[in-house]
């Protein structure tokens, strides 16, 4: 009887090819050292780690209830990378030039014992460690996070007006609790605090000026982000995007601004400061002014897949490599191989139709 050989889908095939390439590389290969350029000469520098795919909010632009309802199946305990696995990979990434690690999700503060992971990562030499959170439980966690070694924090906050905020998180969560979280983070020294606001037309453009009034002069940096077509569930349309230029115009009309230089090459936020000395703000023009040219980020999903772009349709399974017993050199070479072959520039080639392409959800690989 002839045995049927199952056909592989494109993703499985690519994973097999990748695994074979990695495993066939000879250990005698010369040492791989940073800077490690990809095919567009961008050197690997940042790693975003999603520590959970779960979240207690259902922000309409990220985890809309119609796609993440009560029956949604989240990753099982065993599927999620363990702290030791995350830390091991993070350490190898630093060999290849990563200097900045951001913990994200889902909601990272929901990951049990997150402080322990922070302690483990903070022990790695020479990395800048930060975390992005919805701040729903930040008030009680801020000091522990700081004590564990977290250096700074970014809080997502889409409006200061309670009704708008509750509508956007779609779980009726009060803004006051987020503001308590921001205050606690400031007291704990997780500064400068960045406050990320996604702006969606017809939903929260009216929140821009109230946010500026609330935080101007506080030392916190509000950064407005263009609504992006991440994933395939948030119903993105180009018409819903309020451009960074429009946002700057709205603010500048009431609080005159002047532009300032980036802190470093590849910084995603365009920086502006108030002419009256009231501090700075940022705008992240991910849709209208693509910054792929300087994109130096890799993303590790909750279940251990590596993604070379936020808009990638597939990742590479490092959990399988880790759990199959790959040694450090094999893992390092695997990361380097992926990075060196990276050619992503999705935001530069986005059109109103590209959102239909299959893409991974933001809550799975982190923002």
Interface with ligand SAM by CB under 6 A: which residues? 55, 61-62, 104-105, 107, 132-134, 156, 196, 198, 225, 227-228, 230, 234, 362-363, 366-367
Can you tell me whether residue 131 is helix, strand or coil?
Answer: strand
Instruction: List Cβ neighbours of 18 (8 Å cut-off, separation of 6 or more).
Output: 316, 334, 337, 338
Q: Which does 230 bind (CB under 5 to 8 A by kind): ligand SAM, ligand SF4, none?
A: ligand SAM
Q: By CB under 6 A, tell whether 224 contacts ligand SF4.
A: no
Counting every residue written for the chain, the total comes to 367
Q: By CB under 6 A, tell whether 311 contacts ligand SF4.
A: yes
Binding residue for ligand SF4 (CB under 6 A) from 59, 92, 139, 335? Answer: 59
Nearest distance from C-beta of residue 108 to ligand SAM, angstroms: 6
Binding residue for ligand SF4 (CB under 6 A) from 106, 181, 231, 315? Answer: 106
Question: What does residue 259 show for φ and ψ, rounded to 5 degrees?
Answer: -80, 150
Three-state SS across 108-125? Answer: HHHCCCHHHHHHHHHCCC
Between 64 and 103, how does the x/- string for binding to ligand SF4 read (CB under 6 A)? ----------------------------------------
Strand ranges (E), 178-331? 194-199, 221-226, 257-260, 270-274, 280-284, 297-300, 305-307, 316-317
CA-closest candidate to residue 173, choices 184, 158, 186: 158
Whether the upstream peptide bond of residue 192 has omega within 30° of 0, thus cis, is yes
Query: Which C-beta is closer to ligand SAM: that of 164 or that of 337?
Result: 164
Q: Alpha carbon of 297 to those of 93, 102, 194, 237: distances in Å?
A: 11, 10, 19, 25
* DSSP 8-state secondary structure symbol assigned to residue 65: T
* Binding residues among 143-162 for ligand SF4 as defined by CB under 6 A: 156
CA-closest candidate to residue 11, choices 360, 366, 365, 364: 360
Q: Applying CB under 6 A, which part among 219-227, 243-251, 307-315, 319-327 lies near ligand SF4? A: 307-315
Nearest distance from C-beta of residue 2 to ligand SF4, angstroms: 44
Nearest distance from C-beta of residue 156 to ligand SF4, angstroms: 6
Count Cβ neighbours within 10 Å for each residue of 25-43 and write b for 16 or more, e otherwise: eeeeeeebeeebebeeebe
Q: Which residues pair with 300 in a beta bridge?
A: 49, 306
Nearest distance from C-beta of residue 110 to ligand SF4, angstroms: 9
**Residues in binding contact with ligand SF4, number by CB under 6 A:** 22
Q: Which does 247 bind (CB under 5 to 8 A by kind): ligand SF4, ligand SAM, none?
A: none
Distance CA(185)–CA(216), nearest Å, equals: 17
Nearest distance from C-beta of residue 362 to ligand SF4, angstroms: 6
Q: Applying CB under 6 A, which part among 4-12, 17-25, 55-63, 252-260 lies near ligand SF4? A: 55-63
Q: State CA 234 to chain mean position distance.
A: 17
Q: By CB under 6 A, tell whether 195 contacts ligand SF4.
A: no
Nearest distance from C-beta of residue 42 to ligand SF4, angstroms: 8
Binding site for ligand SF4 (CB under 6 A): 55, 57-59, 62-63, 105-107, 134, 156, 291-292, 295, 309-311, 344-347, 363
């Amino acid at each position: 009887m002839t045995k049927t050989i199952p056909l592989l889908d494109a993703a499985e095939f690519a994973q097999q090819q990748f695994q074979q390439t990695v495993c066939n590389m000879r250990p005698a290969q010369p040492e791989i050292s940073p800077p490690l350029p990809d095919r567009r000469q961008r050197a690997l520098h940042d790693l975003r780690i999603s520590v959970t795919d779960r979240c207690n909010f259902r922000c309409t632009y990220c985890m809309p209830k119609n796609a993440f309802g009560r029956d949604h199946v989240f990753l099982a305990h065993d599927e999620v990378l363990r702290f030791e696995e995350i830390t091991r990979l993070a350490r190898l990434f630093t060999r290849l030039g990563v200097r900045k690690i951001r913990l994200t999700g889902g909601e990272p503060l929901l990951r049990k014992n997150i402080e322990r992971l922070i302690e483990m990562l903070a022990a790695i030499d020479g990395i800048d460690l930060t975390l992005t959170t919805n701040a729903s439980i930040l008030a009680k966690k801020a000091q522990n996070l700081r004590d564990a070694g977290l250096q700074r924090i970014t809080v997502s906050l889409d409006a200061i007006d309670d009704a708008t905020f509750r509508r956007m998180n779609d779980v009726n969560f009060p803004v006051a609790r987020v503001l308590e979280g921001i205050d606690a983070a400031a007291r704990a020294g997780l500064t400068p605090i960045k406050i990320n606001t996604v702006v969606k037309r017809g939903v929260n453009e009216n929140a821009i000026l109230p946010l500026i009034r609330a935080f101007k002069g506080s030392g916190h940096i509000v950064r407005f982000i263009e609504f992006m077509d991440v994933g395939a569930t948030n119903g993105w349309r180009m018409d819903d995007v309020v451009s960074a230029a429009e946002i700057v115009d709205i603010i500048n009309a009431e609080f005159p601004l002047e532009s300032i230089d980036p802190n470093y090459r590849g910084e995603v936020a365009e920086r502006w400061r108030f002419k009256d000395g009231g501090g700075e703000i940022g705008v992240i023009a991910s849709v209208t002014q693509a910054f792929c040219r300087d994109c130096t980020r890799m993303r590790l999903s909750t279940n251990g897949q590596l993604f070379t772009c936020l808009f990638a349709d597939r990742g590479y399974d490092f959990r399988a490599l880790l759990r199959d017993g790959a040694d450090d050199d094999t893992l390092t070479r695997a990361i380097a191989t992926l990075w060196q072959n990276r050619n992503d520039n999705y935001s530069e080639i986005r059109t109103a139709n590209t959102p239909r392409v299959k893409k991974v959800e933001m809550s799975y690989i982190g923002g």
